[in-house]
């Protein structure tokens, strides 16, 4: 995809997330790889509902900011995923309500954040790592992602929001939406003896769809 089309796609998908309440105000950030190995990144302090394709932050392949507005303060999160996952073509970070709510639960599983309620979260996300709370913009968030050595495509920042990478902007957005939808289901089912997928059913999905599943 050429850069003009990529800029438009990033802003269109970000606006869709915003309009459906998956992030709000000036929260959230999004980035994507360009054809020349650089990055396009949403600027700091901007709203997903009002991103301007011409003002996206532009980085070259060496990581130098060469054009556009100043980037999001969460750049360490984005670069950590790009540096540790060769398949990363885009990164999306939201402040989505239900996933944050699920991260507040005292029994939230740090190594497998989402319960196995539907096949699609497993297929699109694999296992999601719950990371501890960090101050917004803290470079330690990037260090925590690097510590996973590229084994997870999605993490949940406790009390903050999900961060998901995908091969494309569309794939990353689809996956982060699935994360939020599954967290919503988990909250709706909390305290109810719901019939989750069995370990055999989960393994069947992993095998059939070649899911990246860090154990």
Q: How far apart are the first and last CA of the chain?
A: 34
CATH number for 3-208 (one of 3.40.225.10, 3.40.50.300, 3.90.280.10, 3.90.950.20): it is 3.40.225.10
d(CA 50, CA 147): 34
- pLDDT digit string, tens, across residues 107-119: 999 999 999 999 9
pTM score > 0.75 for this model? yes
Low-confidence stretches of the chain (pLDDT < 50) are none
Q: DSSP labels for 80-138? A: HHHHH-TT--EEEE---HHHHHHHTSTT--SSS-S-S-SHHHHHHH-SPEEE----TT-
Per-residue pLDDT at 183: 98
DSSP 26: T
- pLDDT digit string, tens, across residues 151-191: 999 999 999 999 999 999 999 999 999 999 999 999 999 99
Q: What are the distances in angstroms from CA 6 to CA 34, 41, 136?
A: 8, 11, 27
Q: Domain extents for the chain?
A: 3-208
Q: What are the distances in angstroms from CA 64 to CA 53, 54, 86, 87?
A: 19, 18, 20, 21
The residues carrying an active-site annotation are 74, 120
Per-residue pLDDT at 109: 96
């Amino acid at each position: 995809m050429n850069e003009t089309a990529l800029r438009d796609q990033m802003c269109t998908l970000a606006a869709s997330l915003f309009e459906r309440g998956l992030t709000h105000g000036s929260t959230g950030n999004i980035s994507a790889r360009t054809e020349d190995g650089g990055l396009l990144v949403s600027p700091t302090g901007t709203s997903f509902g009002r991103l301007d394709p011409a003002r996206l932050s532009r980085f070259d392949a060496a990581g130098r900011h060469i054009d556009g507005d100043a980037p999001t303060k969460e750049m360490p999160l984005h670069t950590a995923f790009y540096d540790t996952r060769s398949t990363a073509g885009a990164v999306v970070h939201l402040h989505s309500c239900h996933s944050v709510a699920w991260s507040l639960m005292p029994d939230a599983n740090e190594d497998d954040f989402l319960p196995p309620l539907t096949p699609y979260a497993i297929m699109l996300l694999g296992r999601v790592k719950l990371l501890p709370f960090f101050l917004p913009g803290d470079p330690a968030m990037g260090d925590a992602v690097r510590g996973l050595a590229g084994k997870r495509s999605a993490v949940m920042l406790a009390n903050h929001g999900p961060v998901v990478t995908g091969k494309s902007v569309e794939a990353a957005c689809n996956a982060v939406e699935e994360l939020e939808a599954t967290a919503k289901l988990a909250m709706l089912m909390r305290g109810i003896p719901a019939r989750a997928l069995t370990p055999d059913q989960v393994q069947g999905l992993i095998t059939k769809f070649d899911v990246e599943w860090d154990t």
